[in-house]
Structure 1
């Protein structure tokens, strides 16, 4: 039969256990901030704000060139007559329709590359800017647009300037900002991974703790009696 549990000893240890628990909770509350569990790094946006602004600027490019072309179509003749002359009876030297098509080409390439596929390289905008610049230079040299009206100056210059502004914005704003955000995010992830072992240590084996054997009841009284006996013997030796 197993021996009965002495609940009197357990009751005597309850205040000590409660005191130990209270001190442990106070110690945990007083821990400095590096010992708290690190907050997970913020989630990266699938579409950054600076890239969204770039896509809006590309859309503005198309709409602005389209608006200028429509105004040019309606400046001297009716819009339907001008459309027939510039689209159906297209002439490289006198038509502005190709500048509008060039704007559509830039819009499709840049939106597909940097909005749909979310590329992080400059090769797409390099192609669009190169094609735009080469075509507009050839258009200005070979055509007689300057002899027609003010739009012979406005449309080529506007298309050329906007194309290079898109290149500058992507290279110096979008790609640079996203590279910096990526570096900061990876640094936060690495810092969280390095702090995790400090907060969640590995399991400790039972052999690392040592509990001394419990002293027998009345052992202090025996030690006191033994000490008194030794003192009495020492005094007798000195008397002899």
Structure 2
């Protein structure tokens, strides 16, 4: 109930803010929102896509470092990819980062989805796979990377979930509501006969203090004396 009251109060406040501006500002605000729509992707969504790309590049960098540390890239790459072993290879953690990148970029950058289903899928798959690998594999006996890669991959997946649910989707919904309110206000202004001029949105200037008293004194001085 409190959330409904707060939502209605915020919407009334937005409507009041829109109607308190003049038509020029109203049209400028409409053009601003339409310009954002033409860009195709919001700034906060673009930031999310950049973070997803950072996730892939960071995990890839750690995996390449691990390949160099454990005997050279060629030998270790053949051992982890060609002779893949679930219990000792880091190659599947790299593939997990590729899976997150492809699904999230396709869903939220290409298709521009506005729901959390895809991020829930990638986070659930990542969490389940990493937990199983940590419990069943022998990564912890292979040095620091046995701890770093699973933990980093797990944390990045959950940061992506938090960022989408609490930053991207709420801000885009708020921007969409503001656009609808501004468009509704512009339609109401257009329906008023004769339109509205800028002067109708401004109150007349206040009279200076003492101006009325000065006018009365001037009128009294101009009256002829009663005895004449």
User: What TM-score results when the alignment is normalised by the length of structure 1?
Assistant: 0.68
Would the aligned equivalents of 1:113 and 1:124 in 2 still touch at CA under 8 Å?
Answer: yes
Name the CA distance, whole Å, in 1 between partners of 2:43 and 2:103.
Answer: 20
TM-fit CA distance, 1:200: 3.6
2:84 corresponds to which of 80, 87, 90: 90
Aligned to 1:39: 27
Aligned to 2:158: 164
1:60 correspondence with 2:34: no
Aligned to 1:194: 188
TM-fit CA distance, 1:137: 0.2
1:124-203 alignment to 2 at 5 Å? 124-198=118-192, 200=194
Deviations 1:45-91 (A, max 9, x none): 32100000000000000000000000000103011000000000000
Q: Gaps spanning 5+ residues in structure 2: where?
A: 1-20, 196-228
Q: Tell me how large the CA RMSD over aligned residues is.
A: 1.8
Would the aligned equivalents of 1:102 and 1:132 in 2 still touch at CA under 8 Å?
Answer: yes
What SS does the corresponding residue of 1:92 show, helix, strand or coil?
A: coil
Gap change, CA 1:170 and 1:177, over 3 Å in 2: same
The structure whose RCO (Cα within 8 Å, separation 6+) is larger is 2
What SS does the corresponding residue of 1:120 show, helix, strand or coil?
A: coil
Name the CA distance, whole Å, in 1 between partners of 2:24 and 2:72.
Answer: 74
Gap change, CA 1:72 and 1:179, over 3 Å in 2: same
Gap change, CA 1:113 and 1:53, over 3 Å in 2: same
TM-fit CA distance, 1:186: 0.4
What SS does the corresponding residue of 2:64 show, helix, strand or coil?
A: helix
User: What TM-score results when the alignment is normalised by the length of structure 2?
Assistant: 0.71
Q: Gaps spanning 5+ residues in structure 1: where?
A: 1-32, 202-240
What SS does the corresponding residue of 1:39 show, helix, strand or coil?
A: helix
Corresponding pairs, count: 170
Segments of 4+ moved more than 6 angstroms: none
